[in-house]
Structure formats: structure tokens, C-alpha cells
Structure 1
Amino acid sequence: MLRRFTPSAALRSYVQCYWQAQGQEGSELAGRELLHPDGAAGLLFNFGGALERDGNRLGGTCWIDGPKRRTARLAVGETLDLFGVRFLPGMAFPFVSEPLTTLAGGDLTPGDALRRLELEALHERLGERPDLAGRIALLESYILERLQRHDAPQEPALTASLDWLKRHQGQASIATLVGELPFGQRHLERLFQHHVGLSPKRYARLLRVAHSRELIKQSRASVSLTDTALAAGYFDQAHFIHDFKAVTGLTPGGYRQYARHRYGCSYPARAILTLCGPRS
């Protein structure tokens, strides 16, 4: 069971959502869930059993989930009890005060790695609040306090660039984006590495593959994968397959089989575990 909660107005330019994911006895979600990258970062607090991600057992109780380059696989069972926050892409830097490129990749960063964030102490305080509303209020207060310590303003050019790439679903070229900016590509690259943790090109690829996944789910088997590739802006089938597999670990055909098995005839309507990121 996944529940998502909208942040207060004061944090909506930074936070996607707060979320809670719990396993249920006899749940159809038991097994493994695909956690697709969306260019965002977040915090995870574990109040259930030991977690297994990408086949590795995780130690600790809290982590920073930096921007992922590839789909992660989370083991899901009845003991799952996670709580967290998901920032918007490019908006975690004011909170962590750490270049996001140092947190990017595939592994979770243990909460004690950035001791100034005091995430372990926060986990203990959250554990003392058994009611979900109390946990959300405490986490939101903590984030607001952290942001108030950060003096640097938001980067309007970064926000505009992220919005532009999302609006174009990652299909337009970075050169076209740069042509609309008051500075060159090198400065754009530095902004993205610092605030997003990914290059503009890699972020655009995540958006493009995410759009491809949605097209596959929406069309079921009624549209050929060649037509899906064209709709996603790929004019070369090999390029489409390469990008899709590089991000998800599955070929487009393999993902279509997964989606058909995962949702049956009802996909893509059912909600599943995504930790506020793109659907599996």
C-alpha cells in the first residue's frame, strides 16, 4: 500500500510529496517493485523489516536516495514499512547543501554519511510519532528549518531548463535548449551536475524513457514497439532499445511482457509502488 501526501504551500517548489509504503498480509505487491529514476532525490526512513534493494541487504534505518541513473529493484513483503520525502528534480541541494553529483548513482547513502543532517536522530523522533500526520508534520518542520539555513536563492535558469525538458518529454536537443538560455552549454552542465546530479543529456534520457514506458502501458499490445519508438522521438529502433535497456534493465519488449504480467488487462490504471517517482 502506497500513500502520498502533498506538501504545504511553503514547500511545493521543493517537494514532490511525502509518502508511506507498507506491506500487507497476502498483498499482490509481494515480490519486487521497479523504482524508476526521475532525476529526483529523497529521504527514506525504515520502520519495518530489513530492506533488500538490487539484491543487497541494506544496513541502517535511514538513507538519502540520490538521483538514480538506472531502475532499482526493491524487495517487497509484509514487513515493509517505509516513510519518506521526495524532492523535485534539482531542488534537493538547498536541503542537503551537498553537490548532488556526489550522491548520484544507484546506491542509497546512509543517513550517518552527512552527519550535519542528523537523520538518525530524526528517525528516532519520527519513530516516537506513531500517527502518520504527526510524522509528516515533524518531517515538514525539519525540512523548513533546513531550508531556512540555506541562504542561496533558487536558480531560475535551472528551473526553467528542467521545466523545458519535461515539457518536451526529453525529446528536444540540448543544443536547442541552450539556444534559449542567456549562457552556454558548459554553464548549463555545471548547474545540472551541482543541483540535479545528472547531466542535461542524461536527465533528458530519463524523461524520454519514462515517456516510452507510459506509451507501452497505455497501448498494451495494440501498438507496435516501432510505432512506440517513433512516438517517443526515436528514429532508430536500435537507439530506442539501447536507451530503454540502459535505464530500466529491460528491453521494450521485455518491459511490455512485465507490464502485461504485472497488471493483467487492467494496466495502467492500478496504482503501484513508485515512491513518488514514475510508475513501474
Structure 2
Amino acid sequence: MHATGLRLQQFAPSSALSSHVQCFWRAKGVAAPDAVELLHPDGGMGLLFNFGGALSRNGEDVSGACWVDGPKLCTARLTVGEDLDLLGVRFLPGNGALFIGEALSALAGMELVPGDALRYLALEALHERLCQAPDLAGRIALLERFLLERLRHAEALHPALPASLEWLRRRCLQGDGPGSIAALADELPIGQRRLERLFQHHVGLSPKRYARLLRIARSRELIKRGGAAVSLTDTAYAAGYFDQAHFIHDFKAVTGVTPGGYLDHVRWRYG
């Protein structure tokens, strides 16, 4: 990823956290003037710790040294400088609230939430301890211990939530579209209103909005894999869209660019 000025490393969590944590990651800036990295929403959320220079996201400087990165509704743009040095943990969709301890609906669509805004998380104290760790492995081990301790005091997820997340993911991967949320609720031992409340608390989004992010993520992956060899109309159909105008509208609402504009970005980004 040196073309954009970003060196990204990802690390798998331990088996005790693997059903809740997508990955730990570290991002370092390298020499590349005016580089910007696109941070696309996937329905997940994370924690973020800064060990480098001032952070700039969406063209604005972000104060603080640690943040909760709540569920995003649209693509964010991270300015990448040589002094960028970030460490983060990314939770799987539906799992972040277990560690944060509050409904994610309050954080959805917001900018980065400073670590001192959620004092019971004690992220600033954790950041200080991370600064004292001898190396990257020590920092990740410290993060693991912090998350395991939080998890020990968390309530178990309602089984309907992971089942419904998988149902939506599978339909989107198969290109079937999100399907009816009422049809999803009919397959579960809870009603639609209860399902909506579970999503708002644990995902921070409604099932319908989450499904839209899945479809756009699927279409982005198809564009990256197929490039100019695959028509955008075929991409729309493969992602479960049967109306080209609807596809373009959703894609731009989430990413900020049209599918054609994203294809141009992929050509520049990946060659």
C-alpha cells in the first residue's frame, strides 16, 4: 500500500477473542505527498490509538490521542503523512457494544469520539500504558488483556443477532439482495421490532441500513476484482441491484463517488 503513503499491518486476535474481534492493526505513514486513504464502512466499529503526529480525517484535524470509532454510515478520508502512527482494534459487526458497554446507535455516523468522553472505558489510561509497552507485540498483548477483561463482564449476545447478521451477509454474497426484514424476522424466534432493537444496540444501524453497507462493500470488491473487464451494470446485478439508478444512488451515498469514479480510484490505487 505504499502508493498511498500507508503501510498497513493486520494481526489476528487470540482464539478467545476471534468470535468478537476482526483484527488488530497498525498503520504507519511513508513518504507520499498529499496521500489520502479511504476508510469504507462495513457495519463494524473499533478503538483507535495515536502514537504519531496530529490526525486529520475528512480534511479536519482531530484532537486527542485515543478514540472510539463508531459505526460509519459513509466513507471517511484519512490524510496520510510520514508521521502517521496508529494502532487499532476492529470489532466484528454486532460485537463492539460488548466492549463499549452502551448502545452503538448513539455513536453511529459520528466523527471519532474522544477517549475521555466514555470515562468508564478508561481509554486514556490504556493509551498511557500502551505508550510504555516495549514494542508492537507488547502493545497488542496489552490490548488483548484489556478486551478480555471487558468481555468477562459483558452479557452474552442474543443468538438471534449473529444468526440475522449471517443471514444478511449470505444473501448479499449470493447477490440475492438484502431480502425483506420481515422475512428475516419470520425465521427467528423473535419479532421484527425486537430484531430492530437488537441491531440498534449492537450494530448501531437498522438491519436495512446494515444490508446496504454489505451490498456496497460487495460491489466495491467486485469492481476491484474485475476492473474495467466487468461492466458496472453486471456489477450492480451481482451485488443484488436490479435498478442501475438505485445502485448508483446507494454507492455514491456511501462512498461519496459514483461506481465509475471508484473504478478510476481502483486503477490509480492498485494499477
Q: What range is the shorter-chain TM-score in?
A: over 0.9
Describe how 1:62-141 pairs up with structure 2 within 5 A: 62-141=66-145
- For 2:13 and 2:26, locate their aligned partners in 1 and report how far apart those are by CA, in whole Å: 14
1:276 is matched with which residue?
Answer: none
Describe how 1:257-272 pairs up with structure 2 within 5 A: 257-264=264-271
Describe how 1:98-247 pairs up with structure 2 within 5 A: 98-150=102-154, 152-169=155-172, 171-173=177-179, 174-247=181-254
Q: Structure 1 runs of 4+ off > 2 angstroms?
A: none
Q: Secondary structure at the match of 1:73?
A: strand
Query: Quick check: 1:70–1:106 contact (8 Å CA) kept in 2?
Result: no
1:252 is matched with which residue?
Answer: 259
Say whether residues 1:23 and 2:29 are aligned partners: yes
- For 1:70 and 1:192, locate their aligned partners in 2 and report how far apart those are by CA, in whole Å: 18
| Displacement after TM superposition at 1:166 (Å) | 1.1
| Displacement after TM superposition at 1:22 (Å) | 0.5
1:20 is matched by which residue type in structure 2?
A: R
Say whether residues 1:2 and 2:8 are aligned partners: yes
Q: CA RMSD in A?
A: 1.3
Residues paired across the two proteins, number: 261
Query: Quick check: 2:178–2:208 contact (8 Å CA) kept in 1?
Result: no
| Displacement after TM superposition at 1:27 (Å) | 4.8
- For 2:79 and 2:95, locate their aligned partners in 1 and report how far apart those are by CA, in whole Å: 28
Which of 39, 56, 61 is 1:52 aligned to? Answer: 56
Q: Which moved more, 1:165-174 or 1:182-191?
A: 165-174
Residues 160-188 of structure 1: per-residue CA shift (max 9 Å, x gap): 11111111127231233222112221111
1:155 is matched by which residue type in structure 2?
A: H
2:142 is matched by which residue type in structure 1?
A: L
Residues 224-276 of structure 1: per-residue CA shift (max 9 Å, x gap): 11111111111111000000001000000111111111211xxxxxxxxxxxx
| Displacement after TM superposition at 1:153 (Å) | 1.4
- For 1:55 and 1:41, locate their aligned partners in 2 and report how far apart those are by CA, in whole Å: 21
Q: Secondary structure at the match of 1:74?
A: strand
With the length of structure 2 as denominator, give the TM-score of the two structures. 0.93
Q: Percent identity?
A: 67
1:108 is matched by which residue type in structure 2?
A: L
Residues 114-148 of structure 1: per-residue CA shift (max 9 Å, x gap): 00111001001000114011001111101111111
Q: Structure 2 unaligned runs (5+)?
A: 1-6
Q: Structure 1 unaligned runs (5+)?
A: 265-280
2:36 is matched with which residue?
Answer: 32
1:236 is matched by which residue type in structure 2?
A: D
2:194 is matched by which residue type in structure 1?
A: H
- For 1:80 and 1:162, locate their aligned partners in 2 and report how far apart those are by CA, in whole Å: 34
- For 1:213 and 1:42, locate their aligned partners in 2 and report how far apart those are by CA, in whole Å: 21
Query: Quick check: 1:234–1:240 contact (8 Å CA) kept in 2?
Result: yes
Query: Quick check: 1:72–1:106 contact (8 Å CA) kept in 2?
Result: no
Higher relative contact order (CA 8 A, sep 6+): 1
| Displacement after TM superposition at 1:77 (Å) | 1.4
With the length of structure 1 as denominator, give the TM-score of the two structures. 0.90
